[in-house]
Structures are given as structure tokens and as C-alpha cells.
Structure 1
């Protein structure tokens, strides 16, 4: 398909972080862009402010008149329910229908594609690498799974020599990509509805790695968390590989580390986001930067100027009395890394965690692992499971069942609805509050910030 000949784009699930970056891209290209989503969010409001039309009711009367035109492309997320009214109508009348990942593949064909994959760390690695590219004056476009503060968008447009994308493993989406350079940050079991065994996911990642093409034809692998493949370039933290980082230290609340290339050592590199897991993510971005001959000083300056990524260990409030951090963590491994980092940064502080489980299938499969990770909090408020694309009827799990597994004293753990949680927070004695999860828990950010500012200044 020639995307230049498409004039109209309709996005089903436009509010998704991956879908919205594509919508922004085509809107920037001067195309007519409309879309549907079930919820009005901060992200969809921004899209509307940028001039993109969005409807929020699953009714075919909201479909635009040009929807059955040959010059219209319908882009959908695989997370859309099968009985969705608009989706069923679009399958009948639409001339051109493609998944988000298929469209991303079409966009990347004319440029040098760098794809960052992995169960954990995709967004952070890709965002940091994009920021390095921008500060180094490299021609590139980036489609991100998060919103870096420096750009206020999940789409960065700075030319088209390189295209940076996140390689999403859900629904085998990344197998549509044929990148020139790929990085796999980690392989951990997830999306159990798609990959019932970890071996299934590993096989999919191996298939993805086999699709890398010339020019470059390079694969970067995290030594500890992926697999062995000949001719790959390995990176690590502490262990000596082609690229590795060590001598991690904290000075005046900022993290630093040494980065080793095959030829030299970059001393005291500033870590843009705290945490050992983010040392690993930054090491991946630095390894690709060095491979592409981006000068050390340009990289170092970019890291100093990096302002963070929304929903990735993101500070919303800091005072002498209280700290508020928000994080997208929705897997036990990610929650462990998050709490460990908070403890490392703020030892002896009382931590209140608010966690919203994401998907019934994930919560059921990792029930014991979630319990063990959440036990590392001092206080816990557990929200109802965010269903996303799933029905509760298909899974024998709920937040009450999960709460009973968590070994925190009964007076320090409870369940709450989203609407009542602020009143519960006000009654807690804590130093640090963390909102954790991938659903709509971000709706709490503004109310919590307002309360903290009003109460503590």
C-alpha cells in the first residue's frame, strides 16, 4: 500500500499510546484524521486540541462519511473487542483495514529503522535514544510508547533518515517489522493470553531478531535477560561485555555510572532516571549511540538535559514532608524494580503504594508474584483490576483474592474504588506515595497533586 495516496485515516482505539503517535504523524502530514476511543483521557484531549476528531460512543452513526472510500485507511488495535459495533461495521464497509503494527511497518520501509523490543524497558530505552539523536542533530522520527517531558509528545519529528520505534510483542505485532538495528532489552513472561509459556515468547523474539536486515543488520542483546545469538552485540551492567556499565553511585540525589565501550571508558555518566534497571536501559541506548559514532560529549549533554518520561518513575511532588512518584509498572518484575529504587533513593521512609492490577489474565497468572512484590511496601491500597480488553467472567480472580495473598498486616492494606481513594490517602501516615499500574490509575495524578500542594505547599 502507498500511504501517500491515502487521504483519510480512521483509528479504532485512538487513545492508545501507540495508536495516538500514528494519528499525530498522519495529522502532521496533512491528512484527515478521525478516531474512536471508549474513554476521554488526558491524551485524547490533547489529540482533540491538535485538531483530531474523536468520538467516544460505540455507535456506527459517528463514523465519518468517507469511511468506505478507497482513499481511507482504517487502523485498529488488536485489543479492540470482537463485538465492538464500530469494528463490526468497519470490517464490512472498509476498503483498507490494517493493524497499527502493519502501518508502522509501511512507514519504516523507506528509512533506516531502529526497533527497541523487550518485555521491560522499551519506552525508556527508546526515549533516551531519541533524545540523544535529537541533541546530536541526527535526522530521525520516533514513535514512542510514552511521553518524554522534553517533547510533550509520543511523536518526535526531526527528519526521516532514521525511524525509531518500539517493537511491541503483544499479539506478535513486532513480527511485521524488519528493522536495520534492533535491541532486545529483556524477555520475561507476560501477555499470557498470547504466550502461555515463556518459551513461546522467546521463540517470537528469536523470530523477530531473524528479521533484521541490511544496511547495518545489527542486534543488541542484554546479556542477563535475553538469549544467545551469534554475531549479536551484547551489553550488560557489571558483567564485562562489548558494552557494559559499572561503578554506579549516587551523589546529591543523582545517579552516575561508568560506561565501557570496546575502545574507551566514559566516566561518571549521569543517569537520567533512577534505578539499576534504568542503568541497563541507558546502557542499551549508549551502546547504539556509540555504534553509530555519536560523540561522547553529545551523549553526555543529552543525558544531563533529559527531563524524564511521564509515568516512568515520574516525580509529581517533592517537599520536605512528602514525595509523590507515579509509575507505569504493571508486571511483578517492574514493581520489584520500582520499590527497590525508591528504597535505594529514600531509605527508612514510609512508602504508601496504590496499585491497579491490569488484566485479569495477568493478575491470575502472576498472583503469587504480585503478592510478593507488593509486600515490599509499608502501606497498600489496592484498586479493582483494570479489565482493558478482558471479561471478568473468564478468570477466577479479583482484587479481594489478591489482597489476601499479600503479607502486609491487615491494618496496613485495603481495597478502594478509584473515586474514593483520595479520602483514604488523606488518612494515611506516609512519607512517599507511589501510584502504580497501566490502566486508568493516572486519573489520580491531578487530584493527588492538588491535595499535596494545598496541604504541604
Structure 2
């Protein structure tokens, strides 16, 4: 049967909608919203994941493994950028001329006539999207949302709400953030990244210009005035005069002005100044909070109510997430995988560590990114007292000759560092009560947090 209320680019989505790679955080989020709205959903993934069983209990039909027969009677297929062209289900869909949508296109179809808030940026997207959603729910609204990580305060990373607001993280890594039609667009920062897709920094900057151009005449671009790339984007958009621009940050041009110290921040809105109280550390999170505040104000939320709701935000999964504490050593985990993100995560960790030491376990993500930013990663890691650099997590890439983690450690100079996985024991031997251990990266380095806590509990550090 057709689903006329769901369409992309004027073409209705037909049921059942089949998700190839349904276990991924982004794919499962879109599937979750579809199931909640009564759409018949099926899906598959290479291995069984907990979220697949959750979706099954909600009515989705899920298979483990990829096979042509799993496609069934699918009327529409959804696949993300990670799905290879030779995937048997994708090949079968194309042969049968079943419409194939990117995950972002399926998400855009769900947005319908909602007031859409999309959050883009080289980094900070997940935290900012989470802050906006938690803020809106904190003042009694019920938005739909799709976020790139689970948020403890929300219980899930995506849900269908009852209000006409849809908040979504907009991923620029593959250009798919251009598939949305936002009413409010946030840009946290604009830097060269994902050059494996874009090729040049100029192409990255042009993509963000194209993203801002998606806004209607009565839309709003909320942009960080403290980031050079984002500030330049704001200037270009403002010069065209087609869309309103709201800047936030400590810069003079910011209409939402960040004041005070990192320890005691405040925000000026017009002629009024309000304290900014957050449960998450770091200047970058203060900026993210101002972005969320800007969105809330545009949606008609009272400033004091918005700031009160932001104070309750406890973070998102893998965004400076406290994994636990053993023998006085606190272990945090962060998804940072770009030099600027790593620097922000380490700055936050340094503020938490205080006079104690900061030990970092860093896993580079992608061979191409390591090649492009080896020196910048090293400079960021120098904020730590000790740094362990693991082997590169390849994700979707094949190895590049001559590109290893040692490209980073070679720039660390006299700082204690060690490439490779056996370095875990060395880190444990140096960690003492009061110290902070931070696992950093977008790969499987996150698993080390629990291993470190288990080892500390067993007394392996001594």
C-alpha cells in the first residue's frame, strides 16, 4: 500500500520500507520514527545489535545478514552511505527498480510540514542537537527528533513527537545534509574535513553555503561567530540579505554574546544578561548551549525558561561521557575525531582534572584524515600529560601506504607517548587517584573505557 503522507521530492514512499544496515545509529533512528508513525518497516544488518531487537518488539521485521530474499516485497529501500554497491539487497532493489533512498532522504520525508530545525557543523552537531531537544522537552514541548547518538535524558536517539517541530542532526560528511528543508538551521563551525568525499577545503565551504541556501526567506541561520569558517559563512549569507542571521559566541558581532569566564559564564541577550549554568564542562559546550538558546528563542521560548532547561542537560553518549571511577581515577569517553574536536575534548578534560594529570587514549579515524591532519592531532594531544595513540580505525577506507599512527606520534616530541594497542598497561601504571583518563575517537576505542575501569578495579595499575 502507498503512504501518501510520506514523500520525498514529491514521490510517495511505498510500504514496507526496507532499511539496509538498520542497526546503525542513524538508520535505526529513522526506522524508529517510521514505526512510531505506523509505517510498515523491515530491515537487515550484518550482525545482530540490541537496537534491532527493540525495533522488532515495536513491529519491525528484522533479519540478520544480507541476502536478496530479505528484500521481500519492499516498496521502498533505504540505505546509508556505508552500504557498498555490491550489497545483495541493494543490487536486488535496483534490479527490481524499487526506489532507493539515502537515509537523509527518508528522514526528510518524515519531516513533512513540521518546523524543521537542522544542526550542521564540522563538530558539535550531536551535542547541540541533543541540547535543543532536551531544552524543548524540558519546557513541555514534544518535538520529533533524530540525533546521531543516544541521549540519556531522552532514553533514545530518535522519536516521533506530538508537536510540529522536528529537530535533526544534519551530517555533512557525505553531502547528505543538503537533502533537508529547514526553517531554522544551525552551523556550529565550518572547517576542512571529510576530504575523502569533498576533495578540497573550498568544496567543504561551498557545501555549507548550499546548506544555508536551503532556508526560506522567513528562515533563520544560527551561526557561531567565534569560528572563522562559520563567521565567514554568516557574512556571506547576511550580505545576500535573503535570510536572517543570528550569531552567537564571545565575538563582538554576536547577538547572543558569551561573557564571563569558563568557570562563571553568562550570556547577554539584547540589554539583559543571564548566568549560564551547565552540567557539561568546556567552552565548546557553552557555545553549543548558546546555539540551542538561539533556536529556542526563535521558536518563542522565554529566555529564562530556556536557560533553566539547558542547566539540566547531562550530555549525549560518547560526548565527554563519564564511564565510571575506580580507585579515584575518572574515565571519560569522547567521540572526537577531528583535531579541533580533540582539542575541545581535552580542554574539557583538563578543566575536570584540575591539578591532577590527564591521560589520553586516542584512536585516529580514517587513513585519509590521519594523513591530512597528523600534525594538528599531535598539537591537540599535547594538552594531555600522557598520550597513547592506537592503530588507525579504518572505517570505510582501505589502508593507504605509509599512513600509520606514527605520523601523529612523530610530532609529539618529548611527550610520553606510545603507538599501538599494548600501551594500555603503560597507561594504567601511570594513572593515580585524582587523574582523568580520556578515550578519544570515532572507532572502537570506546570499548577501552570499561577495560580500564576493570583493570583499575582489579588493581592492575599498581
Tell whether the 8 Å contact from 2:181 to 2:215 is kept in structure 1 after alignment: yes
Contact 1:335 1:373 in 2 (8 A): yes
Which deviates further from its counterpart, 315-324 or 198-207?
Answer: 315-324
SS at match of 2:196: coil
Most deviating of 102-111 and 45-54: 45-54
Q: Which residue of 2 aligns with 1:364?
A: 371
Aligned to 1:403: 409
Q: Aligned residues, how many?
A: 439
1:303 deviation in Å? 2.1
Q: Are the equivalent residues in 1 in contact too, given 2:391–2:419 (CA < 8 A)?
A: no
Which of 25, 48, 56 lines up with 1:17 in the alignment? Answer: 25
Asked if the contact 2:46/2:65 (under 8 Å) is kept, the reply is yes
Moved more, 357-366 or 313-322: 313-322
Q: Pick from 286, 300, 303 the counterpart of residue 307 of structure 2.
A: 300
2:79 aligned residue: 76
Q: Please show how residues 93-104 of structure 1 align to structure 2 within 5 Å.
A: 93-104=96-107
- Give yes or no for the alignment of 1:236 onto 2:249: yes
Indicate if the aligned counterparts of 2:329 and 2:431 stay in contact, CA closer than 8 A: no
Paired position in structure 2 for 1:32: 40
Q: 1:435 Cα deviation (Å)?
A: 0.9
Residue in 1 that maps onto 2:225:
223
How far did residue 406 of structure 1 move?
3.0
In the alignment, the residues of structure 2 paired with residue 94 and residue 27 of structure 1 have an alpha-carbon distance, to the nearest angstrom, of 24
Q: Please, which moves more after superposition, 105-114 or 87-96?
A: 87-96
Give the CA deviation at 1:205. 0.8
Segment of structure 1 superposing worse, 183-192 or 24-33? 24-33
Q: Pick one of 317, 325, 329 that aligns with 2:324.
A: 317
The 1:322/1:47 distance shift into structure 2, 3 A limit, reads: farther
Runs of at least 5 residues in structure 2 that lack an aligned partner in the other structure: 7-12, 239-243
Whole-Å separation in 2 of the counterparts to 1:131 and 1:369? 33
Q: Which residue of 2 aligns with 1:349?
A: 356
Q: CA deviation at 1:116?
A: 1.1
Deviations 1:350-394 (A, max 9, x none): 2221112111111111122112222332222322222221111x4
CA RMSD across the alignment: 2.5
1:188-235 Cα distance to aligned partner (Å, 9 max, x none) = 111001222222111111111111025x41111211321212141211
Does 1:130 pair with 2:130? Answer: no
What does the per-residue CA deviation read over 1:124-162, in whole Å, with 9 as the maximum and x for residues that have no partner? 111111111111222421111122111121113331411
SS of 2:175's partner is helix
**Unpaired runs of 5+ in structure 1?**
251-255
Which stretch shifts more, 232-241 or 167-176? 232-241
- Which residue matches 1:447? 451
In 1, Cα distance between equivalents of 2:19 and 2:78 = 5
